[in-house]
Amino acid sequence: MTARIGVLVFPGTNCEHDVVKAIGSITADEGPASCAELVWHGTKSLTHLDAVVLPGGFAHGDYLRPGAIARFSDVMGALARFAADGGPVVGICNGFQVLTEAGLLPGALQKNAGLRFVCTSVSVRVCTKRTVLTEEVEEGRALLLPVNHFEGNYTCDRATLDRLRGEDRIVFRYEQNPNGSLDDIAGVCNEAGNVVGLMPHPERSCDPLTGALDGVPLLRSLLVAAERRASLPA
Amino acid sequence: MEVRLRPGISDPQGATVERALPALGFDGVSDVRVGKSIRFFVDAPDEEAARAMSEAVTDRLLANPVIEEAEVRVR
């Protein structure tokens, strides 16, 4: 059964085609068990999908705060239900910001320390494989992934940080912190591990042309999770 | 209303402004915090109702309680 991966598009999203193309290249190499499709933010049901990606960009222009307006798009109610039902959800960069604003992930992304827009490749350590984005990756592995953001400085209160650490929910840490992020956090997940947000862009590290292939094992994990969901009895 | 970062949340904009001031000859300025001022008109029967609605708007949209706090003023 072919898994369907929905890539959400808000007004101002700009990485949706990169995600679709990266998933397409992985499935082309390994057999077409998954296909990715664009899903407009006005959609009110996601039940036909087996995984959802919130790609990078500037949803609703990032007005007020990144993700603050996107949180009220029609699709977000359906996304909350999809996530509560165990559906794999991954937010990349602006998508991560949307997930925190929507309350699907804890904490918030602040302006980078020093007010620097960072646009470079960073080494990111995989801290846990208990998530839909890392289940096929060895724990402790360092991945070279591009970052490209102004508001990636993860922050949360002390109690939340203690909980994230205690529940093994810090998914990625920067080896050299580019943005002032608390505890070098580059990505976190929800309690069940089916909702993951991260600032680096795995989809931009899936083609030798762009310098590295370290995003492939992450997206492959997502495809495995999506295919598992697709094979569940309806 | 005024939306600002909670105490204890680092404020890179405030820190950058603060670092720039001595170069301009303004010494002795500390604890600079940068926030947002948001103004709108509310059609409401009285001040209390306008305040209640403005606070609801703030809680739901204008401030992110994880990092921000807001002060609502009605006039």
**What per-residue string of b and e applies to A98-123 under the rule 16 or more CB within 10 Å gives b?**
bbbbbebbbbbbbbbbeeeebeebbe
Closest CA to B62 of A157, A103, A41, A69: A69
Q: Helix (H, G, I), strand (E, B), or coil: what is residue A142?
A: strand
What integer pLDDT is reported at residue A28 of this predicted model?
85
Mean pLDDT of A1-22: 95
Segment A35-56 shows an average pLDDT of 97
In angstroms and rounded to an integer, the radius of gyration of the C-alpha atoms of chain B is 16
Candidate list A149, A189, A203, A206, residue with the active-site label: A203
Query: Encoding tokens for residue A218?
Result: 């992450």
Q: What is the pLDDT of residue B30?
A: 94
| Size (chain B), residues | 75
Q: A131-159: string of b/e by CB count within 10 Å (b at 16+)?
A: bbbbbbbeeeeebbbbbbbbbbbbbbbee
Taking residues A72-76, what's their average pLDDT? Answer: 95
Residues of chain A above pLDDT 70, percent? 100
| Torsion on CA atoms B24, B26, B28, B30, rounded to nearest 10 | -70
Please tell me the predicted confidence (pLDDT) of residue A139.
96
- N-terminal to C-terminal alpha carbon distance within chain B: 11
Chain B residues whose CB is inside 8 A of the A180 CB are 10, 12
> Buried b / exposed e across B19-43, counting CB within 10 Å, b at 16+?
eeeeeeeeeeeeeeeebeebeeeee
Selected for mutation to probe chain B from A65, A73, A76 (highest B CB count within 10 Å) is A65
Active site residue A35: no
For residues A83-112, average pLDDT: 97
Is the Cβ pair A113, B9 closer than 8 Å? no
Q: pTM of the predicted model, to two decimals?
A: 0.92
Burial label, A47 (beta-carbon count in 10 A; 0-12, 13-18, 19+): exposed
Query: According to the 3-state scheme, what is the secondary structure of A157-170?
Result: CHHHHHHHHHCCCE
Best of B39, B57, B66, B68 to mutate (most A CBs within 10 Å, chain A)? B66
Predicted pLDDT of residue A30: 78
Phi, psi of A159 (to 5 degrees): -65, -40
Over 90: is that where the pLDDT of A31 sits? no
Which one of A93, A127, A156, A206 is the catalytic residue? Answer: A93
pLDDT tens digits, A164-187: 999 999 999 999 999 999 999 999
Q: Which of A127, A156, A201, A206 is catalytic?
A: A201
For A196-217, write each residue's pLDDT tens digit. 999 999 999 999 988 889 999 9
- Is A203 tagged catalytic? yes
- Residue A1 pLDDT greater than 80, yes or no: no
pLDDT tens string A103-150: 999 999 999 998 899 999 999 999 999 999 999 999 999 999 999 999
A17 is catalytic: no
pLDDT of residue A145: 97
Ranges of chain B with pLDDT below 50: none
Q: Compute the average pLDDT of residues A190-199.
A: 98
